[in-house]
Amino acid sequence: MGTGAKPTLDNIHLTHSWVVSQYAGDFNPFHHHNGDFSAGVYLKVPDGMNDEWEEDFQDHYPAKGLIEFGFGESQPFRADNIKFKPEVGKFLVFPSWLKHLVYPFSVEGERRMMSFNATIINRTKE
């Protein structure tokens, strides 16, 4: 956090908020956000997505429809990424500078997420 202030209800400022609706084949490329921290909550996940992951598990680790965060450089015996399955109500909070991407999926239906960016403003109490 650029200001050195600790986040509280009094000093968190939401700078942007948006909803992303994705359908079969849609994805978000590797990117980061603005501000001090970002978050997102899953509002809708297509029926059949769990079946798609189970099918992927038969020959590789599933990625379809997942969000992946990456940090650092690849090195032997060390992971530099982590993936999360979308589940309705799952709320992810992360530093805005943390790069991430969303993989495409192939089942019919909508994957919907509401997200925001926030900054911490340094207010003094009077």
pLDDT band for position 107 (cuts 50, 70, 90) = very high
Give the type of residue at 87. E
Classify residue 75 by its DSSP letter.
B
In this prediction, residue 55 has a pLDDT band, given cuts at 50, 70 and 90, of: confident
Contacts of 55 (CB under 8 A, 6+ apart): none
Topology of domain 12-120, CATH: Jelly Rolls (2.60.120)
Rounded distance, CA 59 to CA 51, Å? Answer: 14
Q: 96: which 2 tokens?
A: 């805005």
**pLDDT band at residue 5 under the 50/70/90 scheme:** low
pTM of the model: 0.83
**Whose CA is closest to 117, among 29, 39, 5?**
39
Among 8-12, 28-32, 34-38, the minimum mean pLDDT is found in 8-12
